[in-house]
Amino acid sequence: MIPDPFLDRVVGPYRIVAQLGAGGMSMVYRAVHTRLNRPAAVKVLRRELVDGGEAADRFRREAQAAARLRHPHVIHVLDFDVVDGQPYLVMELMEGGSVRDWAAAATARDERPALAEVLRITLDALDGLGHAHAAGIIHRDLKPSNILLTDRGRAVLSDFGIARVAGDAAHTATGEMLGTLAYMAPEQGLRGEVSIASDLYAIGIILFELTTGRVPFEGDTPLGTLMKHVQEPLPDPRSLNSDLPPPIADVIAWALAKAPTDRPTDAAALAEALRAAAVQCGLALPERVDLPERELPAVISGEARHGFVGLARQDAATETPLAQGAGRAQPSRTGPAVFAGLATLFLANLLSIGFAGMLGSFPAIISRLWPFEILWLAFFFSLIAWARRGTGMLTPIGITLAVGLPSLYYGLSGDWQAWWWWVFAVAATPTAILSGYALARRDPPRSVARLNAGLVVLTGALCAVAIIGAFLAVR
């Protein structure tokens, strides 16, 4: 067995005394300040990731994001430095372990976590989250293993490794999808859009999980989990826990609304609703959480995994881009779609030229066949939309149809005096742009697959009409 190179080693003013946890990105140690005799947690980036770029940048961002915050319910960063080329982060030690540990201890006793204490934890987390949001920081990876407990039962937010910081252009690129799928809002999983609303959605998932013993949406694959967040209605938490008061269940449902605009406006609004629900059902909220008598392992981040029967099994997806998980779940159809579209264009033109030459009417047919090229473009865009399973191609499809339909009419009829078709094109083009943009910004409806398939059939049929009509028009 290879000895741990950091155990019993002095790093800066801290002596490493024990390992608390280890994950794919870093190791976490218990340490003691050599002069102040104060305990701390030291998180060290794995040596094999030091030159990896993204992992080192994420580690640095975690230190910078947490260091900007000073709040009782946000973990305090004490130091950040490098030893032998490996960055390390020093934070206050959370003697109470994580909320996942706390809930697992209740499960081990065949008990549910006490509702009043669940609300206390949630309110503490919302208090810290509101402070982070006010500082322009979106956490992006809230879950029970990233909410820690002090030895006095106070909940503290931790693990800001993938947080989005306002003004950090390098870390706010559109489409970046990091986090844990079981706790990820639909818009975050689909488009990488993160906001106050997406963090509050994660808080809603945590609240659902702690009150029922399971997360609301679990799929067989990462993509399956995401699509359940997007499409399936929220299970009634009272069907899983009949003792849950209806006012609390209503607040959970509010936080887990599919559309971001239907959720609470900020952390304070959600906290106020929880307090009002507690008053309504006569629930007295404690000042702190009672910790189990046995000592729980202190975990400084969500990387040290602990079993929690009945809770989310998707923690292994943490810090994994959605595109990677989705790619494993379903093979890409984009390549075959592009091939099919280009093959259609090539074969249609080849056959049209061949038959036109055989009929001896090549110039007449070609003069009427040109709208096919525009309609083929709509068909090609529709194939891409079907392959990518999204609504992002609706605008180019609409624009090409707006121009292609009047062109088809003129090409087949030769009636260039019918000016109303051009009015249609002028009106339809901006309509297609605006409606396509609006639909692309929304979570895809349940029928998005049928919509894209229908567009493929429609545009393909129009292409066929353009070819057949050109030949019939010159007969």
Domain boundaries, the chain: 10-90, 94-328, 331-473
Q: Which of 101, 124, 127, 141 is catalytic?
A: 141
Question: Strands, DSSP E only, in 114-262?
Answer: 137-138, 147-149, 155-157, 164-165
pLDDT of residue 238: 94
Q: Which pLDDT band holds residue 268 (cuts at 50, 70, 90)?
A: very high
Q: What's the mean per-residue pLDDT of the chain?
A: 79
pLDDT score, position 475: 64
Collapsed DSSP state (helix, strand, coil) of residue 290: coil
C-beta of residue 118 within 8 angstroms of C-beta of residue 210 = yes
B/e letters for 259-298, b = 16+ CB within 10 Å, e = fewer, are ebeebbebbebbbebbeebbeeeebeeeebbebeeeebeb
Dig out the tokens for 281 from the structure: 């059902």
How much of the chain exceeds pLDDT 70, in percent?
A: 78
Provide the CATH number for the domain formed by 94-328 in this structure: 1.10.510.10
Q: Per residue in 33-71, is it b (16+ CB within 10 Å) or e — as a string?
A: beeeeeebbbbbbbeebbeeeebbebbebbbbbbbbbeb
Taking residues 106-120, what's their average pLDDT? 91
Give exposure, 448-472, as e/b (b: 16+ Cβ within 10 Å). beebbeebbebbbebbebbbebbbe
* Each residue's pLDDT tens digit, 20-62: 877 767 888 999 999 999 999 998 888 877 765 667 777 777 7
Q: What pLDDT shows up at residue 63?
A: 77
110 labelled catalytic: no
Contact 28, 304 (CB under 8 A): yes
CATH architecture observed for domain 10-90: 2-Layer Sandwich (3.30)
Q: Is the pLDDT of residue 309 over 60?
A: no
pLDDT at position 100 is 92
* pLDDT computed for residue 135 by the predictor: 87
Helix (H, G, I), strand (E, B) or coil at 161: coil
The yes-or-no verdict on residue 446 having pLDDT over 90 is no
Least confident of 324-333, 393-402, 409-418: 324-333
The pLDDT confidence band at residue 318, using thresholds 50, 70 and 90, is very low
Instruction: Single out the residue of 452, 456, 437 nearest to residue 376, CA to CA.
Output: 456
- 393 pLDDT above the threshold of 70: yes
Is residue 471 a contact partner of residue 387, using CB atoms and an 8 Å limit? no
Q: What are the strands, taking DSSP E only, across 54-208? A: 77-83, 86-91, 137-138, 147-149, 155-157, 164-165
